[in-house]
Structure formats: structure tokens, C-alpha cells
Homo-oligomer: A and B are copies of this chain.
């Protein structure tokens, strides 16, 4: 947005919807300070996390309207779209864990999935973090036109094995893509028309075009998201 030759600062963003309070979900807000007018939708729990961090006051109330939305209740977005947040299995953000607290007992509002739909068109699901797929979530996604889903890790312990981290995927609230309890298996019979893996950790061999893991994911009907990807209905 370099613009010393006349064009004003401009962002096409009209709304931001947060599905959680983890660093990778909220840190980008700090780039939207200074006269970017938009509405910020999130659960009351995630709004409380932002309020507990004064640095987010850089998003001034004059320009950014914060709206707490309850789970499972559709709300209107600018442009005639409807959105809805719903609970998915997850956990409290890592930086809010108390010492020794390594269970998965996030509150329902800590990790959400997002459904967006236009009046006429099919629904899109955005679920960047998900610890497992219970029957209720499977039912919700069945037959969907498009699901963007948590592709953090290929296998649960890959960060530990390669020495880049000390946490398993389960510990971080992410189910793995591979394996009998993984994402590919869970989606196999859901009849989702288009499936895209997002939120991919840099340890995940999926990122390599020529890896056997990429081939396996594509054979299972998955696409792998990339920077600048555009999705046309």
C-alpha cells in the first residue's frame, strides 16, 4: 500500500471475523490500525481476549466497531452475506494457558468454525483449527459446496520428530491430515464438493509440490491453499 504518488490508503475490508484468539488469528489486526474502518466480529470470549491486551486499542473505536456474536446465530455481513460462528473442538490459546494446564478444555467460544453464505448461493465453511470431528460437525459439513479446513500437520508428532517444536498437534488443538483419525479419513464420506487445506504449518510435507503426501492428499480430493489463492464460485 505504498502510495506517496497520490492514491490514498485504502483497504477493501468491510468486516473481519475471528474464529479464535490464538496469535496467528489476531496478530494481523495490528496491521489494520489507523483509519481502517471495519466491523470486527468474534465471540464474546475472543473479544475479551482482545480487550485484555491494550495493544489492540491501536484499533480505535472511532473506526473499528467490535461486535460480539453468539455461537449458532447467523448475522448479516456487508454485501448481503450471512455468517455464523459455531463451536468446534479446540483449546484455549497457548499464550493463555496456565502453567501445567495442558488439557483440551477450551471453552466453546475459544475455537469456532465459520459458515458464510449468500442468499441464493451455497455455503462456505472456514475452519482453520479443529481438534477432531464429532458427529455433529460431520453432519454440519455433509454435502457442503466448499470447506477450508485445518491442515496444520500431516502427522501428529511431526514437529517433535523433526526437532522444530515440542508439541504434538493434539496438544495444540489440531487434528492431523493423515491417519485413521485424521482429516482425510473424517471427510471421506461427507460428500463435500470442494475441500481445501489451510493453516498449514511449515513442517507439513504437503507444502512440497512433489511430495508423496501432496499426492496422497490430492488423490483424496483435497487442494492445498497457497498465498494469493483466489476461489471463484
Contacts and interface: CB of A to CB of B under 8 A. Distances in A.
Contacts of A76: none
A136 interface: no
Contacts of A6: 162
The oligomer's copy count stands at: 2
5 contacts: A2-B202, A3-B164, A9-B164, A27-B30, A35-B166
A4 B208 contact: yes
Interface in A1-26: 1-6, 8-9, 23, 26
Interface of A: 1-6, 8-9, 23, 26-27, 30, 33-35, 52-58, 94-96, 162-166, 202-208, 211
Contact of A58 (B54, B95, B207, B208): B95
A99 to B, nearest CB: 10
A192 to B, nearest CB: 26
Contacts of A2: 202, 207
B211 A4 contact: yes
A5 B54 contact: no
Contacts of A8: 162-164
A202 B95 contact: no
Contacts of A211: 4
Contact of A203 (B4, B30, B165, B202): B4
Q: In the complex, which of the residues A8, A204, A206, A211 has the most CB atoms of chain B within 10 Å of its own CB atom?
A: A8
A171 to B, nearest CB: 13
Contacts of A163: 8
Given A4-B204, A8-B164, A35-B165, 12 more contacts: A3-B202, A4-B202, A4-B207, A4-B208, A9-B164, A23-B30, A23-B58, A26-B55, A35-B164, A53-B54, A55-B55, A58-B94
